[in-house]
Amino acid sequence: MIPADSAIQFDRNGKLKHFLTISGLPRAVLTGMLDTAESFAGFGQREIKKVPLLRGKTMVNLFFEPSTRTRTTFEIAGKRLSADVINLNAARLSTSKGESIIDTARTLEAMHTDLFVVRDSASGAAHLIAAHLPDHVRVINAGDGRHAHPTQAMLDMFTIRRVKGGIKGLKVAIIGDVLHSRVARSQIQALNTLGAEQIRVVGPRTLIPTEIETMGVAATSDMREGLRGVDVVIMLRLQRERMDGQLVPSEQEYFNRYGLTGDKLRYADRDAVVMHPGPINRGLEIASDVADGSRSVILQQVTCGIAVRMAVMATLMGGSEERP
Amino acid sequence: MYDSRQLAAIIEKMAGQINARQLPAPLLVGIHTGGAWLAEQLHPRLDSAPPLGTLDISFYRDDFSRVGLNPEVKASSLPVAVDNRDIILVDDVLHTGRTVRAGLNEIFSYGRPERVCLAVLIERPGRELPIQADIVGQSLQLAGHEEAKLTRDGGRLALNIIDLGKSAP
């Protein structure tokens, strides 16, 4: 049974048409995307790093929130698929949000946009656009408020699969500012769907959402307990810009307790890898020598982002034309 | 229709034709999946021991927006640079010519070969593009509703003619 907020992602033949959330997507859809990404991953070595799959299609990166790596990797991914890519970094008034975002999308759709990649500080923004555009338009959520960031979660799954050989049976710790993290929510859904054995979220109580356990994770505020024996350590950025109020004591104290250092990493499995969706606050949630160390796959995540976003776009756009 | 022994004889004959061309620096490339099987069988029979590669042309198909991506796209692997090479492009059945068109486009995204020869096990009518094979194992006069299908079972190839029914184009 597909949850209500996920049903909009499928067309009437049950094929994925939008990618808004991991929630409600069957395992086969996720593994299909990862397999497709695998075949795009070798592209860097070609003389011409382009395939004609989206030739003649127009893709708009509609970003209402700043972004470097997500927007850039979407842009590169679109260009490698031969789409015409337009970047819009729009700031918008916080009032009458619903209205203005739909109007913006409709205006761009009137210019024959085929695919929207949307980022917004409001949860549900990409859903809203998907619900108000004609049938042939595709929408990818590139991060909405605290809700979801599904392509980031998929590139994390892809990275884990590449370095660990699979997701099934892994123990994963997600550490830090879980409260504000759309990445963490999407990661938890993806890890559960793909069969991770254990997911732990670790952080100060003020930054762990209540009832997070209902998502199928164990929560703790003790780093040692959270890290013990895990195969993958995912650090989250402390989102100070989203904090209105005193949620962390001081940066130094936060680093002392929850910052990932070489010492703390020893609690994890000896082959554990370290991930971070970026951008990194060095010396706040992660020590520089760990971020740049041999266990870190942070830059691999960025590289994998291109192949995974190509796979997502190809999945949504392929077979989208109605048969005559 | 053809069992592995009969196919081996056809493949032997094809290898002889390729050898007769005396290409100076060939690269043997099989198109997934049937063409790759055929290339594997041709490979040990070639005099020059050419490097062996495979192509998955899914990203270059012209029906992507209608039927979508094959969920099991294999990675293309060309072991050497294609620039200035003589490429022997291998496929199982030459029918509409669209697969070969896609294969040529993909090869050119890797570089500029010196020349490309097309070797196919079966040539049949139904071309939709001006493409012809240089080396043909067997010509079959199939009707529009018939399909030649190469299968592999434990390394043994077999070719069957399938009747798709009169309703097929």
**A37-88 pLDDT, tens digit each:** 998 987 766 777 889 999 999 999 999 988 989 999 999 999 999 999 999 8
- This complex has an ipTM of 0.77
The whole model's pTM is what?
A: 0.88
Q: Which domain holds residue A224?
A: 150-298
- Say if B169 is an interface residue toward chain A (CB within 8 Å): no
> What is the percent of chain A with per-residue pLDDT over 70, rounded to a whole number?
94
The candidate with the shortest Cα–Cα distance to B149, out of B75, B91, B93, is: B93
Cα end-to-end distance, chain A, whole Å: 31
| Nearest-Cα residue of chain B relative to residue A136 | B65
> From CA B68, how far away is CA A53, in angstroms rounded?
10
Say yes or no: A141 and A170 in one domain: no
CATH number of the CATH domain containing B93: 3.40.50.2020
Alpha-carbon Rg for chain B in angstroms: 16
Say yes or no: A258 and A308 in one domain: no
Number of domains in chain A: 2
- Look up tokens 């692997």; give the residue: B77
Average pLDDT across chain A, whole number:
91
The confidence score (pLDDT) of residue A324 equals: 42
Say yes or no: A240 and A126 in one domain: no
The confidence score (pLDDT) of residue A2 equals: 58
Asked whether the beta carbons of residue B69 and residue A53 sit closer than 8 angstroms, the reply is yes
CATH number of the CATH domain containing A20: 3.40.50.1370
- Say if B66 is an interface residue toward chain A (CB within 8 Å): yes
Say yes or no: A284 and A158 in one domain: yes
Chain B residues close to A80, C-beta within 8 Å: none
Q: What letter would DSSP give residue A26?
A: -
Q: How confident is the model at residue B161 (pLDDT cuts 50, 70, 90)?
A: very high
Chain A residues close to B76, C-beta within 8 Å: 42
Say yes or no: A237 and A273 in one domain: yes
Number of domains in chain B: 1
For the residues A168-178, what does the mean pLDDT come to?
97
Contact, A182 vs A144, CB < 8 A? yes
Q: How confident is the model at residue A92 (pLDDT cuts 50, 70, 90)?
A: low
> From CA B120, how far away is CA A167, in angstroms rounded?
41
Asked whether the beta carbons of residue A320 and residue B65 sit closer than 8 angstroms, the reply is yes
Say yes or no: A131 and A174 in one domain: no
The confidence score (pLDDT) of residue B67 equals: 84
Say yes or no: A118 and A21 in one domain: yes
| Nearest-Cα residue of chain A relative to residue B70 | A36
CB atoms within 10 A of CB B59: 25
Q: Which domain holds residue B74?
A: 4-163
When scoring A46, A50, A162 by the number of chain B Cβ atoms within 10 A, the one with the most, hence best to mutate, is A46
pLDDT surpassing 90 at residue A186 = yes
Say yes or no: A188 and A95 in one domain: no
When scoring B69, B105, B110 by the number of chain A Cβ atoms within 10 A, the one with the most, hence best to mutate, is B69
Can you state the angle between helices A182-193 and A27-40, rounded to 10 degrees?
100
Helices (H) and strands (E) in chain B, counts: 4, 7
**A187-241 pLDDT, tens digit each:** 999 999 999 999 999 999 999 999 999 999 999 999 999 999 999 999 999 988 7
